[in-house]
Structure 1
């Protein structure tokens, strides 16, 4: 609905709504990587997967997660400019700049994640290996390999620290500057919104039963992508009004 409304309405062709579309695309992609395979398991009992399909799923799942993180970082920058330098917002944050930043985020995600399936593909696997999950996860696949997996584990840890470390640092810096600016003008009425992101971290699985961990992992890849567009749509009056208009037509 968000993608449809933004594409149809010329008045919504703005950086903020372009970012919402990027976020929606990454979240649709993330859910699409997992949900169809999980439904095939539950509905039809399809419990076999080839190594090539497995590593392909891992690549797209991790790449989209990295892209999702990049989009959140760009959104934090967008809110920083909108709140801390509103007079220059239109000249700094243009559609062209947002598109370029999105492409850079995509290139970064592809380059960082591409070695993951390549490293997995070189590992030896036995004839029958069971992954206790509804989708292929990098560490789950590494655990069922009968080869040396130290390189895989080290690289996964490195890219996780790089992506999360850089993105969270920049997001935290942006929000810190926003909070400082808001505190400086706390005595005045402000029309800017405070930024929010529904971006839950993975649950720790230590001491949690397998079926609870599997269920929570699937819900993590389904519920936030479903709720984020609703939250952003409700918070943005212009988008909310346009969605309401098209919904009434239906």
Structure 2
């Protein structure tokens, strides 16, 4: 799958992993709607990207992904701006064990909403041309972090939902591939949240143990996550795949044992 001329929507696209992915998409000839909650960061990011890739290739849409109406508008605005939609990356995420309900809303519920909206705009079931959806999970889904129980649960949920809807897409001939990307610790602002009681709540007392775990597994650069993202987008053989990215093994895929009776 060539990215040239394709249109992508990336949530959490103004910083961290999202921004690295947006830059790679633009660098490969795609047009991108970067959707982000932070107005000032989003506008600054858009300005930087305009200087690198031209003003006509990127649009910033301020949006709280937990607001279903605004998220729906973001999709519609993207299609109105660029005429189509081919790639959706549900990347927005937070790490907040104190306000755990918000963590579920951002990390899981918005991914589900974003996936269904993407299908409305890309699925052959709706008369569209097909496309690809990438839902961002985390290696926390495999490491069972005792310091982030709700965050961990949401990332398990992203994998389960994405694999199930990928099967539905294949059986329903939607023409949309749906895959999951699971990075380990990445050098972003989200990683710094383990320092603060207002985000970690009662689990902040385990911050030293958490930092030891980070030291053990290492910290990835967002650029490597973007590299993996482009591979999983462009490889048309992948549907229902779960890509893992770690310091020790780099970019690789999780394998599931066949279910036996």
TM (norm. structure 2) is: 0.30
More strand by share: 2
Higher relative contact order (CA 8 A, sep 6+): 1
